Structure 1
Amino acid sequence: MGFMAIENILVILLLGNVAFLALKDYTKQKKQGKDPLFEPQKLGIRHAECWEGIDEEYKES
């Protein structure tokens, strides 16, 4: 059980910066009156292939 807690804390520390970048971008887009769209390449997030092309699909609909 202690190992799981340490593992979770480590992952939170590693992903925390990315989460705060995404949150900051989200609030910026909302303040601009836009419908927020997550674009990882704009935030410098690498290896997010699952998000590629989603923005084009969203903009078309």
Structure 2
Amino acid sequence: MSVKLVSFWILGGILQFAGIWILGNVQPGLGVSDFTYGAMLVLAFILILLAGLAWISVAVATRHSF
């Protein structure tokens, strides 16, 4: 595997970690407005989707290289 593929794999892990961390720590009612709470949920969802996209890209690239 090339450095580019490994970096995308690691980036996917970091994005997944960030999304799950946001989901685990944001709580409504602790100085967080409803809009901000919803925005954090959307941001976490987008981060998790981007992580999946990065991992799928690595899987497709490794499949085509062999």
TM over 0.5: no
Which structure has more helix as a fraction of its residues?
2
* Structure showing greater relative contact order (alpha-carbon pairs closer than 8 Å, 6 or more residues apart): 2
- TM-score, length-normalised on structure 2? 0.33
TM-score by length of 1: 0.35
